[in-house]
Amino acid sequence: MRVISTLYIVLGVFVLLAGIALGLWGHEVAGTFYLVVLSCAFAYLAKESREYDQEPSDEDEPDLIAAAPHGAETEAVGSDAEAPTARDVAYHASAPSITPFLFAVGAGLILAGLVFGQWLVLVGAACTALIAIAWFVETGKRRAAEEAAKAAHGGEHH
């Protein structure tokens, strides 16, 4: 969360400086006000994300799973009756892929087309649609492989 908080601070400072520049040189009162309010919103998000940074990090939890013997259920710290066991914790992450970046480029082409020309909107929409299909196919194959592996291990997720 520290990275996210720092990002919010950088964005808040940037937007505040843009608001000041707009107010001084653009003489735009409404735009300046909106940028300053957005800067305050980023400051609030930075403060809130710093507070969540005090909680235990996710890096500690995989050690709990690795320490548990195969098939054994170990209680998590703070022996509540409702506490999750090491076996209940599952981590899912997308495989490294370029499709999300290409999807964003296609969406950027659509937005640029709204400014520069209708033909660019059509090109961006076609690219975005093709990339979305590729992304869903790629994700579907990965999920099918995970389900097959899960079924092969008797339903346990490792």
Query: What does the mean pLDDT of the chain come to?
Result: 77
Give the structural domain span for 104.
Answer: 96-158
pLDDT surpasses 60 at 56: no
Residue 66 resides in a domain = no
Residue 133 resides in a domain = yes
Q: Which residue has the higher pLDDT, 16 or 65?
A: 16
Of 72, 97, 104, the C-alpha closest to 86 is 72
Residue 80 resides in a domain = no
102 and 157 belong to one structural domain: yes
Residue 119 resides in a domain = yes
Residue 137 resides in a domain = yes
Whole-Å CA distances, 114 to 25, 45, 66, 128, 154? 27, 31, 51, 15, 52
Residue 91 resides in a domain = no
Local structure of 85: helix, strand or coil: strand
Name the β-bridge partners of 75.
Answer: 85
Q: How many residues does the chain have?
A: 158
**What secondary structure does DSSP assign to 38-76, as a single string?**
HHHHHHHHHHHHHHHTTSPPGGGHHHHHHHSPTT---BP
Of 81, 79, 65, 61, the C-alpha closest to 157 is 65
- Which DSSP state fits 136? H
Distance CA 142, CA 158 (A): 15
Confidence of residue 102 (pLDDT cuts 50, 70, 90): very high
Residue 74 resides in a domain = no
pLDDT surpasses 90 at 82: no
CATH code, domain with 129: 1.10.287
The tally of domains found in the chain comes to 2
pLDDT surpasses 60 at 79: no
| Whole-model pTM over 0.95 | no
Look up tokens 């300046």; give the residue.
Answer: 32
156 and 100 belong to one structural domain: yes
